Homo-oligomer: A and B are copies of this chain.
């Protein structure tokens, strides 16, 4: 076995939670490729593979190293074209970049606000210090002040998911009748929320919650393996 996915964890190595790493777990499963996942704490990431990347996911495929979740997905599609497609053609690949924009620019900020304290509390002491310092610098305020916006963020989340709710009136997945990498982009975001907070923060009968349950069932219920 030469394929290694480096991902992110807190104190508990069995509960990797990074949204971007979950995209690649699902992409590797989708392609039916074998791999070993190696979750590490935040402060170990820069030391991986002789400092190859400041962020995870990093994929080692034999002698090759690839970083960045979108670049890894494109690499997998190009390298294993005879396996199930992650993009469904050139149009699907181009539009997946827009779904990434939606997830990162409109959904992630809301999820961060909901989950930030829970993420902090999952980390070991060294990572907690790193996380608090780097996030408070980025946000320009204390984690606790940022988290005070949590009730409003839960309301905002339903509003930000409206494009998904609209799409799900017509088809069961972003990819149409079956999932594509675009599904895994948003799945990764909500899986991050689920693993760090224990809840999706939306009603169970919301069509996005039902879509998320379908995603948890994919590939031998890979997503459910981490509770």
Q: At the interface, yes or no: A93 with Cβ under 8 Å from chain B?
A: yes
Which of B93, B97, B100, B163 contacts A102, CB < 8 Å? B163
- Contact present for B174 and A98 (CB under 8 Å): yes
Q: Determine how many copies of this chain the complex contains.
A: 2
Which of B87, B98, B162 contacts A91, CB < 8 Å? B87
- Contact present for B97 and A91 (CB under 8 Å): no
- Contact present for A91 and B170 (CB under 8 Å): no
- Contact present for A92 and B88 (CB under 8 Å): yes
A contacts with B, residue count (CB < 8 A):
35
Q: At the interface, yes or no: A95 with Cβ under 8 Å from chain B?
A: yes
A residues adjacent to B (C-beta < 8 A):
85, 87-102, 104-106, 160, 162-167, 170-171, 173-176, 180, 182
Pairs A–B under 8 Å by Cβ, sample size 24: A88-B89, A88-B91, A88-B92, A88-B94, A89-B89, A91-B92, A91-B180, A92-B94, A92-B95, A94-B171, A95-B95, A95-B96, A95-B174, A97-B166, A97-B167, A98-B166, A100-B167, A101-B162, A101-B166, A102-B163, A105-B163, A105-B166, A106-B106, A106-B162
